[in-house]
Structure 1
Amino acid sequence: MSRELNNTLYQSKSEHNDQELAEHQETNKRLQRLGQEVLKLEAKAVNSLAERIGDNFSRACRHILSCTGRVIVTGMGKSGHIGSKIAATLASTGTPAFFVHPGEASHGDLGMITGADVVLALSNSGETHELNAILPRLRRLGVPLISLTGNPDSTLAREATVHIDIQVEKEACPLGLAPTSSTTASLAMGDALAIALLDARGFTAEDFARSHPGGRLGRRLLLHIEDVMQTGDKVPQVTPGTLLREALLEISHKGLGMTAVVDSTQQVLGIFTDGDLRRALDQGIDVHTTEIATVMTQAPQTAPPHLLAAEAAERMERHRINALLITAEDGRLIGALNMHDLLQAGVV
């Protein structure tokens, strides 16, 4: 093959690669522009809701606060998915709630709704057939109906005890078809209701933790030192006259990286840690003849058993220690805790 032909083929391939790269970059830019436009449109939709939070929002909150039953959230399609999330948020922030599918409601699930409940119905059009079909039953029950719709003149809006307008200017979908801005607005208004109710109920972080015992927050707010500390024979302890080599055996057997030093009444006199051992060895201490009282750290950090485990972790980090002795009110040693125990408990 001639040199000229080789050069022609190379140039052709190079031009083809350059074209592919240019098309790839243009596609990336278009994807990025579309993503940015969606976020801007949805942010605008949410921002516009703030102007519509007024008396109807307050009335909706008061109906829910005076409810002796549960908040029944319902919605069809995408509104149903949003409604399910709103129900979960309400339930986890102090307002008992659950989701009922409107299609199933007409086939028996209406029995889940009682006269002591409040119904929160979501529909962008306000004309969802499955929702409107159960309105007569809700009227007979006499339950307050709070509707979130994008059409204040719709059937659902007119039938509601309280209507909250969540109308959006346009959907973020370029076809104007897929529920995007409207579902984001519904979700945001649901969050607004949940947080307003949370504050009105005086709901605390501890209350939140009680409904989230399996989560990290729950463990941090519910677990106390007494729930995770080592007790009994698992607690390393020696008396002041114990030789250093014997104390090291106690540390090794108990596996907490330290030992407490106590008197005959279990009063804490000191602690001996891995750090103390390094310092003792640097000073040329003889482990066979030295008593632990001469190398221990006096007045060590201690904590009561009722202290939150998370607070114990913060104290250990603040004082740069890996272990903590747990004492009763009278100063007696009753347990021990190290960072590994807190890690295992999921506190840190």
Structure 2
Amino acid sequence: MSAHPSPAAAHEIDDAALVRSARAVLDLEAQAILALGERIDGGFVEACRLMLACRGRVICTGMGKSGHIATKIAATLASTGTPAFFVHPGEASHGDLGMIIDEDVVLALSNSGETDELLTILPVLARKGNRLIALTGRPRSTLARHADVHLDVSVSAEACPLGLAPTTSTTAALAMGDALAVALLEARGFTSDDFARSHPAGALGRRLLLHIHDIMHGDDAVPKVREDATLSEALVEISRKRLGMTAVVDAEDRLLGVYTDGDLRRTLDDTQVDLRHTRVVTLMSRSPKTIGPDQLAIEAAHLMETHKINGLLVLDAERRVVGALNIHDLLRARVV
């Protein structure tokens, strides 16, 4: 007989019962996490100090569901300034112990504290001199007793009504791992810039690492005309450089103003303007928004959004025009 309910039986399940079940799980797991707060004591501090003093890496390990949580904790530690990676305890006994050096600190997860694969490698870790931090649900377990520091992540009950599937216990272990990672992050003075450097491909990395000089148009690609240029000459420059604007500069390339597509539309509304003989300096915007080459690209996005403009000129410390960019450059760089 199949252990799975038939489609008809599943269809008969009360919707309200599903909602009650979900809320009961969340309530139980929330209570378990709150209970951990009362256990943040000297042991937690000692665990943090062991990892802060570690000259190697933090080796996270565990079997089954605890192994999945250990993998996530290792990833969180690594991305927040604490070098870490996961080692499978079963594979460790078959050669992967060579991945662990004497200076490493081991963070071992086991709800029972009696996981055979972990207990098997304890003597080897002790002989290598590795400091051991254990996260278990049983303070008197073998793993807890052999650890330099034990963090109690016990829970009153699993959210699984059968009391079998690791649910509340893995949530508690994951939360304790996050608590360790964030405490270490703050102790190290880890900043958002540090985080971005380890996430260069992510949205945050692009926002915090990408500078104006990385995406701006420079050299001959910068649209600019001299102050004696006519409107027609300015229009040719705007069309040629395709940035929807041109800088108006003096003989030293210092910015005098900007003339944009928007200015052109307003100019065309004035039938008295002679495009061939009117100098662009008489119609340009004299106080355009600008940005420096070393500023963040996200700052350019903020300027454009705030002032409802589509482009910016890039100036050096002497107000010389060294670059230009528009909203399309930010879109291509996935800054916005």
Q: Which TM bucket (shorter chain)?
A: over 0.9
- Counterpart of 1:215? 202
List per-residue Cα deviations over 1:200-256 (Å, max 9, x = no partner): 001011111111111111111111111110011211111222222232222122111
- Counterpart of 2:284? 296
Select which of 234, 257, 261 maps to 2:248. Answer: 261
Select which of 234, 237, 240 maps to 2:227. Answer: 240
Provide the secondary structure at the position in 2 that maps to 1:133: helix
Are positions 1:34 and 2:9 aligned together?
Answer: no
Counterparts of 2:299 and 2:326, CA distance in 1:
13
Map of 1:61-72 to 2, 5 A cutoff?
61-72=48-59
Are positions 1:145 and 2:139 aligned together?
Answer: no
- Counterpart of 2:184? 197
RMSD of aligned Cα (Å):
1.5
Select which of 301, 305, 317 maps to 2:305. Answer: 317
| Per-residue deviation, 1:24 | 5.6
Select which of 300, 325, 336 maps to 1:337. Answer: 325
Instruction: Name the TM-score, length of structure 1 as normaliser.
Output: 0.91
Are positions 1:166 and 2:166 aligned together?
Answer: no
212-221 vs 194-203, which moves further: 212-221
| Per-residue deviation, 1:320 | 2.1
Provide the secondary structure at the position in 1 that maps to 2:14: helix
Map of 1:95-106 to 2, 5 A cutoff?
95-106=82-93
Select which of 111, 114, 118 maps to 2:101. Answer: 114
Counterparts of 1:25 and 1:346, CA distance in 2:
47
Provide the secondary structure at the position in 2 that maps to 1:145: strand
| Per-residue deviation, 1:97 | 0.3
Counterparts of 1:87 and 1:174, CA distance in 2:
30
Are positions 1:50 and 2:34 aligned together?
Answer: no
Counterparts of 1:250 and 1:230, CA distance in 2:
14
Question: Structure 1: which 5+ runs fail to align?
Answer: 1-22
Q: Which amino acid aligns with 2:325?
A: L
49-58 vs 237-246, which moves further: 237-246
Counterparts of 1:89 and 1:287, CA distance in 2:
61
Q: Which amino acid aligns with 1:54?
A: D
Counterparts of 1:71 and 1:89, CA distance in 2:
11
| Per-residue deviation, 1:331 | 1.4
306-315 vs 196-205, which moves further: 306-315
Counterparts of 1:170 and 1:288, CA distance in 2:
84
Q: Which amino acid aligns with 2:31?
A: K
Give the count of matched residue pairs. 327
Provide the secondary structure at the position in 2 that maps to 1:152: coil
- Counterpart of 1:14? none
| Per-residue deviation, 1:332 | 1.2
Counterparts of 1:115 and 1:24, CA distance in 2:
57
Q: Which runs of 4+ in 1 moved over 6 A?
A: none
Are positions 1:177 and 2:164 aligned together?
Answer: yes
Q: Which amino acid aligns with 1:315?
A: L
Counterparts of 1:310 and 1:344, CA distance in 2:
13
| Per-residue deviation, 1:289 | 3.2
Provide the secondary structure at the position in 2 that maps to 1:298: coil
Counterparts of 2:265 and 2:302, CA distance in 1:
25
Counterparts of 2:11 and 2:71, CA distance in 1:
39
Provide the secondary structure at the position in 2 that maps to 1:279: helix
Structure of larger gyration radius = 1
Q: Which amino acid aligns with 2:70?
A: G
Q: Which amino acid aligns with 2:332?
A: Q
Select which of 257, 270, 273 maps to 1:283. Answer: 270
Q: Which amino acid aligns with 1:287?
A: L
Report sequence identity in percent: 64
Counterparts of 2:35 and 2:256, CA distance in 1:
65
